[in-house]
Amino acid sequence: MDRSRLIVTLAMILSMISVILGFTGIAMSSRSAPFARASSDSFFTSGRSGIAVIKIHGDIRSGYSTGSSVGADDLIQEIKTARDSSSIRAVIIDINSPGGTVGATKIIYEAVKDLRKEKPVAAVITDIGASGGYYVASACDKIFAQQGSIVGSIGVIAFHGDISGLLNDYGIKISSMKAGKYKDSSYPFRAMSAEEKDMMQEIMNDSYEQFLTDVSEGRGQPIKSVRAWGEGRIFSGKTAKAEQMIDEIGGKIEAVQALKVLLKTNDDLPLFEKKEDFMERFMKSLPGLEQNRMASSLTNSHIYYLYPSSIQIIFESMQRIRP
């Protein structure tokens, strides 16, 4: 290799290293200051105390956030950061979610309930706070919603895809070898038996009762009242207030005033939101990631606290990937 080629090769290698280090630096700097004012300096360098806004926008899932889904792991870390920061005096949970998986929703509910023991917490529902979205909101000190917001949908749902007809059309046969009568009950290659449906129904009934119990505790309402809100019914924000499912009609402005009352202060408390790091922005830019994830819901055995309108998204996704 002559000298000129060697110089060019070294320059390219150094450039690649610089790019990698640059991306790493962006990601690390973003994580070092998790909350920032929307149009000001980093929260932790501003020297001011305020109210953290934690967003739950999209379906609630286990793991990490991707696209329009909210990952429980990311959210739990954000809640812990707000709880442990001496500069965060209260928290607003900004909810625009139809709910999500049972396990992830329960974990977030417990985290918000624990946060409430340390600092005042208010939920603000914008378009929708249904099923798991409302479940999480019920853990807060106060719940606000707009008059036309969709609230409620207290219930449990599960999907079991049966693609046996499709496989027959293509002449595909799948045999399962198992040890355990019900081991393949969640597989989409055949219809569920009556016994398997009963088994799944028992799990869903337990999850439903847990939903009712937790909302009853969070809202300070008798279980009888919460059961009257149940059966998957949805309510407008106006009706939800009359039913005492929420506390007031309003948004963040009203929530801030309520939190200041709970804090017994007249101080100016600015709102601070989490800064997305480089990897979060990158993942959200990937096309098709969320569609494939939603489509898989028809062929797994997850149990959801989910408002049923989200099924339309799943079917649209299935249409796009259908052969």
Query: 21: buried, middle or exposed (CB in 10 Å: 19+, 13-18, 0-12)?
Result: exposed
Report, in angstroms and rounded to the nearest whole number, the Rg of the chain calculated over CA atoms.
Answer: 24
Alpha-carbon gap, residue 256 to 248, rounded angstroms = 12
Phi then psi for residue 304, to 5 deg, are: -120, 145
How far apart CA 155 and CA 175 sit, in angstroms, is: 35
Tokens 């060019």, residue located: 8
To the query of whether residue 296 is one of the catalytic residues in this protein, the response is no
Residue 266, beta-bridge partner list: none
Nearest Cα residue to 280 out of 27, 18, 55, 37: 27
Q: Among residues 221, 98, 96, 200, which one has the least CA distance to residue 154?
A: 98
Long-range contacts (CB closer than 8 Å, 24 or more residues apart) made by 226-229: 226/154, 229/152, 229/154
**Gap between the Cα atoms of 6 and 36, Å rounded:** 45
**Is residue 80 annotated as part of the catalytic site, yes or no?**
no
Alpha-carbon distance of 27 to 20, in angstroms, equals 11
Task: Give me the amino acid identity at 140.
Answer: C
DSSP 308: G
Consecutive H or E run containing 13? helix 3-32
Catalytic residue among 80, 178, 181, 183: 183
Strands (E) in 154-206, as ranges, are 157-158
Out of 49, 69, 131, 138, the active site residue is 131
Distances from the Cα of 228 to the Cα of 4, 154, 214, 240, 309, angstroms: 80, 10, 15, 12, 21
Residues identified as active-site: 131, 183
